[in-house]
Structure 1
Amino acid sequence: MSTAPRATRHFAIVGAGMAAITCARTLVQAGHRVTVFEKSRGVAGRMATRDSAFGSFDHGAQYFTARDPRFLLALQTTPELCKRWSANSVQVLDELGRASGPAKPDPDAHWVAVPGMKSLVAGWSEPLKAAGQIVLQTRVTQIERDAMNPRHWQLRTEALDGAVHVFPGFDAVMLAIPAAQAESLLQTSKQAPAWVKQMAGVQVAPCWTLMLAFPQAMQPGLTTLGPQWNAARSSHHRIAWASRESSKPARSPIERWTVQASPAWSQEHLHDDPARAEAKLLKAFTEITGIRAEPAHVDSQRWLYAKTLKPLGQSHLWDARKGLGVCGDWCLGHRVEDAFVSGLELALAAL
């Protein structure tokens, strides 16, 4: 007995990070249409890369693991976009920057996207971009029922130049944005009050990130500055993580460091002027690495939503009757693969 093919549906996805693009790819592979809305100038979310005259910095996620077999399979479909980073032994530092013992091996392989962390999501999104299914620099301000067809959704948006637009005709809407932003959008739109209450319990810490370049380390006879380790977790009150960007595969050899502040310090200094935050973090960086050379390049990024402290506790939220869903790394934790699993499982639930 033949079965009639399921009707093609049109999904709106708000956000363009790992969870969003995973969700979108899965839906498209199943034969459906998607339109991805992103308020920034590009895709990737916190899998971000910033270019400089001295090379790039992964100023968001530093690396990713692949514990979930579905994520590993997905990575194997585009092997040119990721490589292992031989930083499996991560140094652990005390408050004064002293090694608190031998470097601890990490049981999980460290993977990085190449040539920058944004490359994986950017690569996966290329077919969507080529098909005109990604709308950038467009912030979704409200979700509401379609004025012409109450069974469908429409999105009210605002562009960077202030122009407003309404996108109608969606069978379902997925929010793949930070918990606080999803909660706010649902509240503004007067949608899913039970979800809003549920998401209010999610806790996500901010993170100040410092980027430093030391081209003087390229002088003859000098290959690196400071410590011999390439990555470290620190109990310094200002710094939680430091890594040598130039140790990652397919990166510029110029000595560069990315430094992530601790959640507590980032929260305490959330509204600091960037120059002030950079000065304080540079001082702490000197204390834990012993590098006293003046960096030729200093930059920073303040992430309002960086590390999940208390996740939702389930991979996604989905209301099949309404055609409304929510996903993101914060549903499960803070890892890149948490975002992948969340986006994948929301798409599968919708299918």
Structure 2
Amino acid sequence: MPASRVLDDLLPRPGGPLPRVAVIGAGVSGLVLARMLTGAGFPVRVLDKGRGPGGRLSTRLHADGGTFDHGAQYFTARDPLFQAQVNAWREVGVAAEWRGRIGTLERGAVTPSSKESVRYVGVPGMNTLATVLAEGLGVRSGVRVERVARDGKAWRLTSDSGEDLGLADVVVAAVPAPQAVALLEGAPTLAARAREARLTPCWAVMARFAAPVALALDGAFVKDSPLSWVAREASKPGRASGERWVLHGSPEYSAAHLEETPEQVAPKLVEAFARAVGADVRAVEAVAHRWRFAMPSPPLDTPALYDADTGLGACGDWCAGPRVEGAFLSGVALARQVVAGVAGQ
């Protein structure tokens, strides 16, 4: 089964001329939405400010050939539709089960996890899943949509550089809630809902060590620390060897140090890692990346936002729930709402 087939054939094809759709944001929810609507025959464009699709499904390649999944670390599957998509990814080799040793870590004390959760990762990196979802969609990267304004019965999109990005009948903000607010001004009720959402930040450090870190875990939720999570990259399937770790700052620490520079944050979180491990571990290299909008806290109580009268909508993990699955299901929900809106016209 092709990796995208689960989504491509999920929706019925409405009859008659279909509205032009512009999706702002090429994270999981935006790509899922675009994939489904494209499969149903809609003309769809995807615009994203990043260098490539993925959002927090992000993997950085190091000069030594190793990688760092510095955004989403892994994902689980509970919903049957998402599990079907995960199975399709696994069949073509772009996802695999991560069987690393998971537990909690507190100042050198290790507690293995008692839960039997099945955890998956993209192969060879988390961003591979975004690349597969984006196949055939013609995502335009490196463009930030700043304004969505009425132009007759359609919406005209304008970039932050003043570039006219053309017209669309339906516009979806598949971006973090604080960024979605300005794009939803044409539907004040939706903008107000997006304004309610709260997202916490996360500093992520990509650290490389010369010697193996003596820790009997490959992934750990860290207690009583500026860190919330650490992971040994080489323990994931399809990764190169080498002692590379991703260190995630806690929401509290990340918020308190949000405006510091990466150069200031990286050594502090490496030091926190050493304290958590309870050993003198020193990184030969450490680079920090700031995720300003990392986790919904809490998400809204709706899977997606859509106003069929205006043709404006929004989706993301801040609607349906955190993690990759939440973003996936939010895109699915909004695609169904858009099709229902066309059928009701």
2:73 equivalent to 1:78: no
Distance apart, 1:9 and its partner CA? 2.5
Task: Name the structure 2 match of 1:138.
Answer: 143
2:56 equivalent to 1:43: no
Instruction: State whether residues 226 and 290 of structure 1, in contact with CA within 8 Å, keep that contact through their aligned partners in structure 2.
Output: no
* One-letter amino acid of the structure 1 residue matched with residue 225 of structure 2: H
* One-letter amino acid of the structure 2 residue matched with residue 197 of structure 1: A
* One-letter amino acid of the structure 1 residue matched with residue 146 of structure 2: T
* One-letter amino acid of the structure 1 residue matched with residue 67 of structure 2: S
Distance apart, 1:310 and its partner CA? 1.5
Task: Name the structure 1 match of 2:218.
Answer: 230
Identity of aligned residues (%): 36
Q: Distance in 2 between matches of 1:119 and 1:291?
A: 34
Q: Counterparts in 2 of 1:118-137, with a 5 A limit?
A: 118-129=127-138, 134-137=139-142
With the length of structure 2 as denominator, give the TM-score of the two structures. Answer: 0.90
Instruction: State whether residues 67 and 108 of structure 1, in contact with CA within 8 Å, keep that contact through their aligned partners in structure 2.
Output: no
Task: Name the structure 2 match of 1:271.
Answer: 259
Task: Name the structure 1 match of 2:109.
Answer: 98
- Structure 2: any 5+ residue segments left out of the alignment? 1-12, 340-345
Task: Name the structure 1 match of 2:10.
Answer: none
SS at 1:241's partner residue? strand
* 59, 63, 67: which one aligns with 2:78: 67
Distance apart, 1:4 and its partner CA? 8.8
Q: Distance in 1 between matches of 2:317 and 2:309?
A: 24
* One-letter amino acid of the structure 2 residue matched with residue 91 of structure 1: G
Q: Counterparts in 2 of 1:232-251, with a 5 A limit?
A: 232-251=220-239
Deviation per CA, 1:48-79, whole angstroms, max 9, x where unpaired?
00111231100000001111111121223332
Distance apart, 1:312 and its partner CA? 1.1
Deviation per CA, 1:111-146, whole angstroms, max 9, x where unpaired?
0001110000111102113xxxx2111111111122
Q: Counterparts in 2 of 1:83-232, with a 5 A limit?
A: 83-87=96-100, 89-94=101-106, 96-99=107-110, 102-129=111-138, 134-146=139-151, 150-158=152-160, 162=161, 164-186=162-184, 190-214=185-209, 216-217=210-211, 224-232=212-220
With the length of structure 1 as denominator, give the TM-score of the two structures. Answer: 0.88
> Considering only aligned residues, what root-mean-square deviation do their CA atoms show, in Å?
1.7
Instruction: State whether residues 90 and 106 of structure 1, in contact with CA within 8 Å, keep that contact through their aligned partners in structure 2.
Output: no
- Structure 1: any 5+ residue segments left out of the alignment? 218-223
Instruction: State whether residues 270 and 283 of structure 2, in contact with CA within 8 Å, keep that contact through their aligned partners in structure 1.
Output: no
2:10 equivalent to 1:15: no
Q: Distance in 2 between matches of 1:254 and 1:331?
A: 37
Q: Distance in 1 between matches of 2:58 and 2:301?
A: 25
The change in CA–CA distance for 1:10 and 1:106 in structure 2 (over 3 A counts) is farther
Q: Distance in 1 between matches of 2:281 and 2:312?
A: 53
Task: Name the structure 2 match of 1:310.
Answer: 298
* One-letter amino acid of the structure 1 residue matched with residue 135 of structure 2: E
SS at 1:177's partner residue? coil
Q: Distance in 1 between matches of 2:78 and 2:308?
A: 29
Q: Distance in 2 between matches of 1:34 and 1:128?
A: 8
SS at 1:306's partner residue? strand
* One-letter amino acid of the structure 1 residue matched with residue 246 of structure 2: T
